[in-house]
Amino acid sequence: MEPRAPHDLAAPQPGPYAVSRRSSFLVIGLFVVIALGVGLSFVSLPYVVLSPGPITNTLGQLDGKPIVEIKGERTYPAKGALDFTTVRVDGGPGVRVDIFDLVTAAVRDDEEVFTREEIYPQKATREEVQQENTAEMVNSQEVAAAIALRETGHVVPERVTVSRVPDGSPAKGVLEPGDEFVSVAGQRTPDAAAVQAAVRSQKPGSTVPVVVKRDGVDTSVSVTTRDNRGTTVIGVLLGRNYDLPVDVTIDSGGVGGPSAGTMFTLAVYDLLTPGDLTAGKRIAGTGTMEPDESVGPIGGIRQKLHGARDGGADYFLAPTDNCDEVKGHVPDGLTVVRIGSFNDALGAVKAIAADKADTLPGC
């Protein structure tokens, strides 16, 4: 800039008042922005942010103890990794997210924002959510053990119970949580499929005789059926209990939910069968394991993909029904294989171990 002549009055001179006003606007604006930012950081917003959580090798140890421990049956060493994946959840009952969390999540591919109602039931407390997650994890571990034992030649009897009787159900006050089904409409009910088949064979609005074992005593009751989207139901949630012939203990390290079921099933199977199932490969995955051995979809698949890769996994087993969410979000270096059943998952692990992952179906 050329120096201006001391007496060059032709150029407008910003006097003291003009400088003061502009500076004041800038200072005030800066304070407003800071105040808004600070204020919003203390405001709990009705959203939930999902981000990648850690992965855990189901064939490894936790606090010096095996994650999967089997007693009463010969087991075999496993050197590879079958990792279950997790999602970090910020927001929801008892956990606050602010505007900065939402802005960060908006620019990251490994994070997602949902409304609170999309993730949690309305008015659910933190304790209720934790209790439900714990119950789902325990159930998934029992199903995993039962399926792995059956796949290795063991007989695993199943007992079907009443898990819950919702308000408004025709069975409310007739059936109770813990009741074990003995027969429905005169048909023996050794498993959940038999209970459902017997109920569905009835007409909606009819009265069906049910025998349950309650406090160790066979008890006869009558339940009115109703229609639910074209299917006859009695309005109870079923629970499954298995009489495991082998003592299988699984420690998830405080992680809740049912989505580790598939990886737990593979781990129990690996330990019960000779040889190293993974051939030393590191394979992560997710998916519920259903009693019919199908793999069910889960939430947070994008976060689990990134968490798996961040944790060092090279392969990822993804439920078929999650494939639409997988496309376009696979981290570099991670190979995704779609699975729809336990046999799919087992076949995928064997193929990966044999260096034939390129023959497997992806998403």
Q: What are the tens digits of pLDDT across the range 180-198?
A: 999 999 999 998 889 999 9
**Given this model, what pLDDT does residue 242 score?**
92
The per-residue pLDDT for range 142-185, each reduced to its tens digit, is 999 999 999 999 999 989 999 889 888 999 999 999 999 999 99
- Do 212 and 179 touch, CB atoms closer than 8 A? yes
Classify domain 51-92+125-154+244-359 at the CATH topology level. Ribosomal Protein S5; domain 2 (3.30.230)
List, as one string, the DSSP characters of 250-303.
Answer: E--TT--SSTTHHHHHHHHHHHHSSS-TTTT-EEEE--EE-TTSBEEP-S-HHH
Q: What is the mean pLDDT of residues 19-47?
A: 45
**Given this model, what pLDDT does residue 150 score?**
96
Strand (E) or helix (H) holding 44: none
CATH level 2 (architecture), domain 158-242: Roll (2.30)
Nearest C-alpha neighbor of 80 from the set 55, 63, 57, 62: 57
Is residue 25 over pLDDT 70? no
Is residue 280 over pLDDT 90? yes
Q: What is the mean pLDDT of residues 218-232?
A: 95
- CB count within 10 Å of CB 82 equals 30
Rounded to whole angstroms, the Cα distance separating 237 from 230 reads 18
Per-residue pLDDT band for 23 (boundaries 50, 70, 90) equals very low
Residue with tokens 């076949």: 347
* CB half-sphere exposure, 315, CA atoms < 13 A: 27
Q: Kindly list the domain boundaries of the chain, sorted by start residue.
A: 51-92+125-154+244-359, 158-242
**Given this model, what pLDDT does residue 1 score?**
37
Please state, rounded to an integer, the average pLDDT across all residues of the chain: 85
Residue with tokens 């050329």: 2
**Given this model, what pLDDT does residue 214 score?**
96
* CB half-sphere exposure, 139, CA atoms < 13 A: 19
pTM above 0.85, yes or no: no
- Do 101 and 302 touch, CB atoms closer than 8 A? no
